[in-house]
Structure 1
Amino acid sequence: MSAWLPFAPCTPEGCARGHGPAAGPVKALARLLAGLATVGCGLLLAPLAALFGVLLGAPFRHRLTRCWSRAVLRAFGVRVHVVGVPHDLRASLVVANHISWLDIPLVAAVLPGRMLAKSEVRSWPVLGPLAARGGTFFLERDRLRALPAAVASMADALRGGARVVVFPEGSTWCGRGQGRFRPAAFQAALDAGAAVQPVHIAYTPTGAAAFVGDDPLLASLWRVAAAERLTAEIRLLPPILPGSRPDRRSLARAAQLAVASDSANLPSPSVHQCVRSIPAAASSVRTPS
């Protein structure tokens, strides 16, 4: 794994413990099976949804995506709290802090769009094929030369009126801290003249949703299903309009500050000092700078 890839100091052992009341094993298993079944149904129905999307347009496709995403969250027992309303923007680059795989259906339930993901996601069982059919941009993180083409593809999508969703920290954090927003993806918004929509994500209890470090996906799925009263909050912050920032770095800083200032759980400097740093190879979910 390339040393330039971002990583977080969060680990499953240090950040995913003590995550509140737990459901019984029978209830947790029922949630897990219901969640996987709902994801599987989405995979089976994706071709039909794509066909109707072509015939009936993007609003219909987005409505289907929102309904399915909410069904996935509900099946896993996750309650959703939305603060703010989507702004009436023809196209926007949605940028959010990154805590969990749950972030993907959570954002899609409110702001459906084309996601940017690491290429490894394509090989994930069930979720990988579904992401591919949903128009996800896949990026090989080890190949810096692939980055300009990915940015160009996102800019083309924005010019066409699409919404593009990116997690610019480049790695998942546990929710008690936040990483630096990498500026590369913001170039797509500048090139397309699109607005940037900052979004803040938080989960209560925090540890239950965290998918960090070398945490196996199945272990995270079980932890979410077994959590009682797991609540996801998504805050839609004021958009950063085109032309308000001169370059991608200042645009990334503005979006990061907006998300960080909205956080109700800004960490003290000691939050992660007791947790060992991990090499880039072990960080769980990353997108590039």
Structure 2
Amino acid sequence: MLSVRAVAKVAALVPVVAIGIPAQWAVLRFGLGHPGAIPWLFHRIVCRVLGIRRVVTGHPPNGEPALILANHVSWLDITVIGSLMPLSFVAKSEIAGWPLFGLFAKLQRSVFIDRTRRSATAVANETIAHRLKRGEAIVLFAEGTTGDGHRLLPFRSALVGAARDALADPDAPRIALKPLSIAYVRRHGLPLGRAGQPHVAWYGDMDLLPHLKAILADGPIDVHLAWGESIPFDAETDRKAVTRRAERAVRATFRAALRGRD
């Protein structure tokens, strides 16, 4: 059973979803307007309804194509990051088959990667490179999975090659490699701490539906997002080296946020 608070939130979101899905389908089907505008507005509304309070520091990509390397804590990250600006995500292929969430991912023009196929990384790189050359912003959760909200996993560099592939074209626009850290720091105005992170973090073998119900029934959640400085990147750049550099930048701001430092 859902609590009164959860029912009220669902009731507020139903018309948003009912209007947003066909509107975004029409935008993608007929090329009406910017394909990222409706998802951006949708995520901002969802954050407001769920009581997600964002503190953002640093400078986002300023209208330039960007490969954004972020850590990953929860399914909530999609809405929190998606509320910052028009962008798309790189997602594992099984998400495409999830009820409702899969539809949302498709409407946001996510790049799906099938990790069971050897050629999956190459295919995803080609798609990401094409999108970057068109001037888009793409979010890559560089850990490859969700963490527990208290520590970062090592960043993977394979898909960073997409940005390098895009730069191999002499006519391609300048591409920014942007670190972005996301840290959930308070719940009901109180510090989450290590013990409280599972209330927000979604990882391991956690079931999605109970976690979703808990978020709907819960009070305000404060999240800190920190943009790092753009990392110099061109067709000759070592992808492993820049991935390590992005990881260090994200790790530093992530730890600072958890310790309550700006």
Instruction: Point out 4+ residue stretches in structure 1 off by more than 6 angstroms.
Output: none
Q: Measure the CA separation in 2 of the matches of 1:92 and 1:110.
A: 14
One-letter amino acid of the counterpart of residue 201, structure 1: I
Given candidates 206, 222, 229, the residue that maps to 2:213 is: 222
2:177 to 196, 200, 207: 196
- CA 1:176 to 1:211, structure 2 compared with 1: closer, same or farther past 3 Å? same
Report the TM-score, using the length of structure 1 for normalisation.
0.76
SS in 1 for 2:241: helix
The alpha-carbon deviation at position 126 of structure 1 amounts to 1.1
Q: Where does 1:26-65 land on structure 2 (aligned, <5 Å)?
A: 26-35=4-13, 38-50=16-28, 54-56=31-33, 58=34, 61-65=35-39
The equivalent of 2:106 in structure 1 is 132
Alignment of 1:131-170 (within 5 A): 131-170=105-144
Preserved contact between residue 96 and residue 166 of structure 1 (Cα < 8 Å): yes
Q: Is the 8 A contact 1:158 1:192 kept in 2?
A: yes
After superposition, residues 166-177 of structure 1 pair within 5 angstroms as 166-177=140-151
In structure 2, give the amino acid aligned to 1:202: A
2:155 aligned to which of 158, 161, 181: 181
After superposing the two structures, state which structure 1 stretch, 156-165 or 234-243, moved more. Answer: 234-243
Q: Aligned in 2, Cα 1:33/1:182: closer, same or farther, shift over 3 Å?
A: farther
Counterpart of 2:183 in structure 1: which amino acid? A
Q: Secondary structure at the match of 2:158?
A: coil
Change (3 A) 1:244 1:192: closer
SS class of match (2:36): helix
Q: Which one has a larger percent strand, Structure 1 or Structure 2?
A: 2
Residue 132 of structure 1: how far off its partner (Å):
1.2
Q: CA deviation at 1:145?
A: 2.0
Q: Residues 41, 141 of structure 1: CA spacing in aligned structure 2 closer, same or farther, 3 A cutoff?
A: farther
Displacement of 1:245 in angstroms is: 7.5
Q: In the TM superposition, what is the alpha-carbon distance from 1:189 to its structure 2 partner? A: 1.2
Distance 1:142 1:89 in 2: 34
The worse-fitting range, judged by mean Cα deviation, of 150-159 and 33-42 is: 33-42
Cα distance in structure 1, aligned partners of 2:17 and 2:255: 31
Task: Please list the CA deviations of residues 159-204 of structure 1 after superposition, one character each: whole Å capped at 9, or x if unmatched.
Answer: 1111111101011012100001100111011112322111010112
Instruction: Tell me which of 38, 45, 61 is aligned to 1:87.
Output: 61
Q: CA deviation at 1:92?
A: 0.6
The aligned residue for residue 246 of structure 1 is 237
Q: Are the aligned partners of 1:122 and 1:131 in contact in 2 as well (CA < 8 Å)?
A: yes
TM-score (structure 2 length as normaliser): 0.83
Percent pairwise identity: 31
Q: 1:39 to 1:237 in 2, by over 3 A?
A: farther
Are the aligned partners of 2:181 and 2:225 in contact in 1 as well (CA < 8 Å)? yes
Which of the pair has the greater relative contact order for Cα pairs under 8 Å at 6+ separation? 1
User: Residues 32-77 of structure 1: CA distance to partner in whole angstroms, max 9, x if unpaired?
Assistant: 453465445432322133367x343x3xx43333211111122222
Gaps spanning 5+ residues in structure 2: where?
168-174, 187-191
Consecutive unaligned residues of structure 1, counting only runs of 5 or more, are 1-23, 268-289
Residue 177 and residue 73 in structure 1: after superposition, are their counterparts in 2 closer, same or farther (change >3 A)? same
| Distance change >3 Å, CA 37–CA 223, structure 1 → 2 | farther
Q: Deviations over 1:206-261 (max 9, x none)?
A: 33221111111111111212222211221111111323982111111011001001
**Would you say 1:213 and 2:213 are equivalent positions?**
no
Q: What is the alpha-carbon distance in structure 2 between the residues aligned to residue 180 and residue 112 of structure 1?
A: 27
SS of residue matched to 1:79: strand
Q: Does the CA contact (< 8 Å) of 1:95 and 1:166 recur in 2?
A: yes
- 1:66 alignment counterpart: 40
Secondary structure, aligned partner of 1:68: helix
Rounded to whole Å, the distance in 1 between the matches of 2:54 and 2:177 is: 23
